[in-house]
Structures are given as structure tokens and as C-alpha cells.
Structure 1
Amino acid sequence: MRDYTYLNGARFTVCNLFRSLRFDIDRLDMSWVDGEKPEFTRGLRVVDNDEANTITVDGEDGDNLIYSLAYIFNKEDGADAFRAAIDEYLKVALETKEYLVTSQKKDPQGKPEVSESVLH
């Protein structure tokens, strides 16, 4: 796997931060030399390997994604439970665009939209 990618004609280095059963989360960093600083210079890329879908997040969404990964990591015992919880969290986060795990809501019948163990 190469360690760089191109977005809008700019080259970004890719550093894989996390790999779950379904998703890859990569950090994207760009270096620029001449000209104006591009609008997007640093962020995270979430690759859904089952759906062949890629989402790029930065700013507050990127911060919320990293916070949520750390939060879930501290709540789960064992690597397999952590990976399963991350998969459940990311399914909801990518659908709702709500990347802060503690903000993900339950449905009207009280069933969790993410793994119950993630939030409690």
C-alpha cells in the first residue's frame, strides 16, 4: 500500500491510525511549498471497506472522531470488543454525520443506535 494520496491535485501523506473489521482510519497530512495555503491541509480519512466508500473529515468533525475513538477504547475490554464497538459507532457516525459518540442518540423505543456498551 502506498503511503500517499492525492486530493484536489495536492499530495497527502497517509498514516493508518486504526483498522477495524470493516473500517480503516487514516491521518492525512499535506506539505506545501509555494503559493497559498490550501483550504484542506490536515484531516482524517475513513474508508468503509464493505461499501467501497471514503469520507474525509477535518476540523471539529475530525476532533470528535479522534475523541470518540479514544473514548470507546477506554470503555471496551479487549481488541475484538473494541473493533466491534468501533464498527457499530462508525456505521451510525457516517450515516448521521454525528462524529461525537456521546451525542449519538437512542431511537424512540429506547433501543441504542450504537452498541450499548459504547455509551455506558
Structure 2
Amino acid sequence: MSAKEQTKNRVALAGQVIDAETKLAIPVASVEITQMPNKFKNWLDLQALPYGKSWEKMVKRPGKTLTAIDGCFCFINLPDGKYTLSVSFPSVRTSYGKVDKKVTVASNGNSNKIIVIDLPPIGIKGQITKF
């Protein structure tokens, strides 16, 4: 097997998004690479060309995905470097905040393995009592 075949579809980043309080998986959370090495940014720019203005509205594309029912996500074939993942729950009435997570991809094995991202719930907390 050639080196090219061995690296084809290599999972570069994998993780799970969970509720910061309950530790339960959050399905359909948006995970987007917002900061990246220039090599990957240039490649993304080329991928976006055929899509024009609709590229930004795409829910899933290279560099952007949604978590599965178990809260898991992955990105494949990323070049080595430092990345920032921006995680949020895209909804009009969202009950979660946004989190940015810095990660490293390194083909020599020194990268983040499985990333767990705690998404903080937002809203009113407290206890109802009688007067």
C-alpha cells in the first residue's frame, strides 16, 4: 500500500459535543473550523468557488459539520497545524452558548485524539418557592 493510499480519508479531528451540566450528548450541534493553517484555508477557498454565495449557507461542507445523534463529529484529511473549532447549537431559541476550542492536528501522533467539548446551557436557573 502506498503512502498516498494510507493517508486517504484520514480522520484528523474527532470529538463529541456534550451538555456541560448533564454530560449528555448534543445532536445537531454545529462544529465549524474558524481558524486554520493557510494551506487548509486556501483549499477551502477553492472548494467554495463553484458554490458562490450558497457556500456560507451550507450546513455541512469541508470545515463545517453537524454532530450525529450521539454528539460525535469528525473532520478528515486536515493538514497539520493549529485549528480553532467554533461550536454552537444553531436554533432560533437556542438553549446553549457558543464555545471556541483550540486543537492541534499532527500526523506524527502528537495531536488531540478525541476532543470532548462541553457546551454550556444558558437560561434561567433556580428554584420555584411559595410565598
TM-score by length of 2: 0.27
> Higher helix proportion, which one?
1
The structure with more radius of gyration: 2
Structure 1 length as normaliser, TM-score? 0.29
Flag the structure with higher strand content.
2
**RCO higher in 1 or 2 (8 Å CA, sep ≥ 6)?**
2
